């Protein structure tokens, strides 16, 4: 039975192609806001980091009403590090709007999200966005989309549907058109096509209850909230239901509260029917993949597999000499409690205490995935330190070592392609595809996740900042052998003092500095990078010896190059095995694990790294 009053659609696209802006305009077109209401841009990117980074991190559900049809809209992340969100939430949809930039065309992560939509057998309509952008070529972008769908194995019905259902839009200007030049100035052609063309849920309203949890929300007041689509039957507040876990275990539970989505919020209701998306409160320790079903006529649904993490980082309490100066929360107990709370909320991460109880190991899908958590914690006032990200290896049935392999795509100027290939070769990458255009070269590589770390900086250096670089997890493949790390040595502070311009003036001749005059430094802290291999201990607080024949004010002004600054992701990629990143609410510092040079030398002798 078709539920004609409901449409469940997902909006899928590459990072920064305009998904969230498009949803804003759909909300405005369906009068979700009062006429005089002040609304921020990208209203669905409610998280501070989402707004600052300009990316969607968490998949979100909203609903809008148009022509007496309830449209449940799922805004998905476009970044591969948050791919675990995309795979699951597409199970709630019957159709998808593929959003593509009219100038850029399909990009690497377009392939990633589109492949999941095709695998889920969704009906896909194409929306060519940013048609007002300079260099826009809507016709080419559409043809490239259709070619990509063929490459990804779309069947004839999906291809035919996509060819017949195309909308041209400028989300930022608030219009959608059936023809790029027809002069329409509102979003109604897009909404009409969603209602008229995308399929309604085909479900059995009178059958036994079957609902699957695909997203878990968390409330400090009611605990875990299971969100998912109802495939058959009707669920009521107060119902006794059977909860079937992914491992087959079963338990009885009661629905305490029931919500459906209503524009940007949730609306409490007494019942929800098949075809709708609902949020259920009261099911203890509910998890991704749980099936809520009728105890007397249980329905079986396929379990949901979450892609395994590929990288892990160990969080430890800070042991820096400057600990407690910038953050309010520095204790190991509070750090563990915060990460245990994250484990409740974030099912895409694996969070476990280390065997020696000194830290907590957090495993995720990539450095960005992990750094988003760190950034959130430092904003909450935490101070902590983390080691170098470690790749999570596997073994196949024959005992062979496997490691995560990434698919990396680079678009760079033609004259830089040779240097890019060389950089990938040194990092253990192998080229899988190359196509040269008039000005740009498109390169594709398969490269171990270990080799990705620090690669973006090197690519930007050899292409003078003109490259576009994306990567996403491909598969677990054979271990690729040793991959060289950082080539240059570090400059390490020998004392705990503030940096002085005179000392930095002499040190900048030896390499690149990370600190400026007046910055707090401590023994063992990385203050710069040498231009040669091998670490060097330096004095950043050395001042000029003054005789009585000249005063300090008559000294020659020191000309300093601005220091190199690191984002959290860049610092994590930069450090070596014996180094740590110290994270505070105000600073990101890199340091040696063993701060004392004498102790570091003893450690190297004990481990046979130098001659006695």
Please tell me whether 457 is known to bind a ligand.
no
- In whole angstroms, what is the distance from residue 437 CA to residue 310 CA? 34
Tell me the fold of 406-478.
Alpha-Beta Plaits (3.30.70)
Q: What class is the 6-197 domain?
A: alpha beta
**Nearest residue to 276 via CA among 61, 87, 124:** 61
Give the angle subtended at the CA of 488 by the CAs of 482 and 491, to the nearest 5°.
Answer: 130
Q: Do domains 313-391 and 406-478 have the same CATH topology?
A: yes
- Residue 369 annotated as part of some ligand binding site: no
Q: Choose among 19, 205, 6, 199: nearest CA to 110.
A: 19
Given this model, what pLDDT does residue 35 score?
41
Q: Is 77 left (phi over 0), alpha (psi -120 to 50) or beta?
A: beta
Is 132 annotated as a binding-site member? yes
- What span, in angstroms and rounded, lies between the C-alpha atoms of 48 and 78? 17
Q: Is 465 annotated as a binding residue?
A: no
Tokens representing residue 187 in the block: 């979003």
Domain boundaries, the chain: 6-197, 210-293, 313-391, 406-478, 490-606
CB of 582 within 8 A of CB of 590? yes
Residue 16 assigned ligand-binding role? yes
Per the annotation, does 18 bind a ligand?
yes
Where on the phi/psi map is residue 43: left (φ > 0), alpha (ψ -120 to 50), or beta? Answer: alpha
What is the third-level CATH fold of 313-391? Answer: Alpha-Beta Plaits (3.30.70)
Which CATH architecture does the domain made up of 490-606 adopt? Beta Barrel (2.40)
Divide the 612 residues of the chain into consecutive groups of 10 and give the mean pLDDT of each group: 84 75 81 45 40 44 84 70 64 87 80 83 90 86 90 88 90 87 85 88 86 78 80 87 83 86 80 86 78 86 76 91 86 89 76 88 84 87 91 86 87 90 89 84 88 83 85 82 79 92 89 91 92 90 70 62 88 88 92 90 79 46
pLDDT tens digits along 325-340 = 888 888 888 999 988 8
pLDDT of the residue at 316: 92
pLDDT tens, residue by residue, 429-451 = 899 888 887 888 888 899 998 88
Is 210-293 a CATH 2.40.30.10 domain? yes
Task: Report the chain's mean pLDDT, rounded to a whole number.
Answer: 82
- The tens digit of pLDDT for each residue in 224-265 reads 788 888 888 888 888 888 888 877 788 888 888 888 888 777
20 annotated among ligand-binding-site residues? yes
Element containing residue 50 per DSSP (H, E):
helix 48-53
Residue 561 annotated as binding site: no
> Binding residue per annotation — 245?
no
Q: What is the DSSP letter of 520?
A: B
19 is in an annotated binding site: yes
Q: What is the 3-state secondary structure (H, E, C) of 221-264?
A: CCEEEEEEEEEECEEECCCEEEEECCCCCEEEEECCEEEEEEEC
Contact 50, 57 (CB under 8 A): yes
């Amino acid at each position: 039975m078709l539920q004609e009053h409901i449409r469940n659609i997902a909006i899928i696209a590459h990072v920064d192609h305009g998904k969230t802006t498009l949803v804003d305009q759909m909300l405005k077109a369906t009068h979700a806001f009062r006429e005089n209401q002040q609304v921020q841009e990208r209203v669905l990117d409610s998280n501070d980091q989402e707004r600052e980074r300009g990316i969607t991190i968490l998949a979100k559900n909203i609903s809008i009403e148009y022509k007496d049809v309830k449209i449940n809209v799922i805004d998905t992340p476009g970044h591969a590090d948050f791919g675990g969100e995309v795979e699951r939430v597409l199970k709630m949809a019957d159709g998808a709007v593929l959003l593509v930039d009219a100038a850029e065309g399909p990009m690497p992560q377009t392939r990633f999200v589109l492949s999941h939509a095709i695998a889920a057998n969704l009906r896909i309509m194409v929306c060519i966005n940013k048609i007002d952008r300079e260099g826009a070529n809507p016709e080419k972008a559409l043809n490239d989309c259709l070619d990509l769908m063929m490459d990804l194995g779309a069947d004839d019905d999906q291809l035919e549907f996509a060819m017949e259902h195309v909308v041209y839009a400028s989300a930022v200007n608030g219009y959608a058109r059936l023809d790029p030049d027809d002069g329409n100035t509102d979003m109604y052609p897009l909404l009409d096509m969603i209602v008229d063309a995308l399929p309604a849920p085909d479900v059995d309203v009178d059958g036994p209850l079957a609902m699957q949890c695909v997203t878990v929300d968390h409330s400090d007041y009611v605990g875990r909230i299971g969100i998912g689509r109802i495939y058959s039957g009707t669920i009521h507040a107060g119902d006794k239901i059977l909860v079937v876990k992914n491992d087959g275990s079963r338990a009885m539970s009661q629905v305490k509260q029931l919500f459906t989505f209503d524009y940007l919020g949730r609306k409490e209701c007494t019942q929800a029917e098949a075809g709708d998306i609902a949020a259920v409160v009261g099911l203890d320790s509910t998890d991704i993949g749980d099936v809520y079903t009728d105890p007397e006529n249980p329905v079986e649904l396929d379990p949901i597999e979450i892609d395994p993490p590929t990288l892990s980082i160990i969080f430890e309490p800070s042991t820096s000499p400057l600990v407690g100066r910038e953050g309010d929360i520095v204790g190991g107990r509070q750090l563990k409690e915060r990460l245990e709370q994250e484990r409740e909320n974030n099912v895409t991460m694996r969070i476990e205490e280390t065997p020696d109880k000194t830290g907590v190991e957090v495993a995720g899908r990539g450095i960005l995935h992990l750094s988003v958590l760190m950034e959130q914690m430092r904003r909450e006032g935490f101070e902590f330190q983390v080691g170098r990200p470690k790749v999570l290896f596997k073994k196949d049935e024959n005992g062979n070592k496997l490691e995560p392999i990434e698919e990396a795509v680079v678009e760079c100027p033609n004259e830089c392609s040779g240097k890019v290939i060389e950089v990938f070769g040194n990092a253990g990458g192998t080229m899988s595809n190359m196509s040269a255009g008039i000005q740009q070269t498109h390169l594709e590589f398969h490269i171990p996740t270990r080799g990705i770390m620090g690669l973006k900086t090197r690519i930007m250096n050899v292409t003078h900042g003109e490259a576009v670089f994306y990567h996403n997890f491909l598969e677990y493949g054979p271990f690729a052998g040793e991959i060289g790390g950082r080539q240059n040595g570090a400059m390490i502070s020998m004392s705990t003092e503030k940096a002085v311009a005179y000392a930095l003036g002499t040190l900048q001749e030896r390499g690149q500095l990370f600190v400026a005059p007046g910055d707090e430094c401590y023994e063992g802290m990385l203050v710069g990078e040498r231009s040669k291999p091998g670490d060097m201990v330096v004095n950043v607080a050395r001042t000029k010896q003054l005789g009585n024949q000249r005063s300090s004010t008559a000294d020659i002004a020191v000309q300093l190059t601005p220091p190199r600054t690191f984002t959290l992701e860049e610092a994590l990629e930069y450090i070596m095995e014996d180094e740590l990143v110290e994270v505070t609410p105000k600073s990101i510092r890199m340091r040696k694990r063993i701060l004392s040079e004498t102790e570091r030398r003893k450690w190297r002798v004990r481990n046979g790294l130098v001659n006695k």
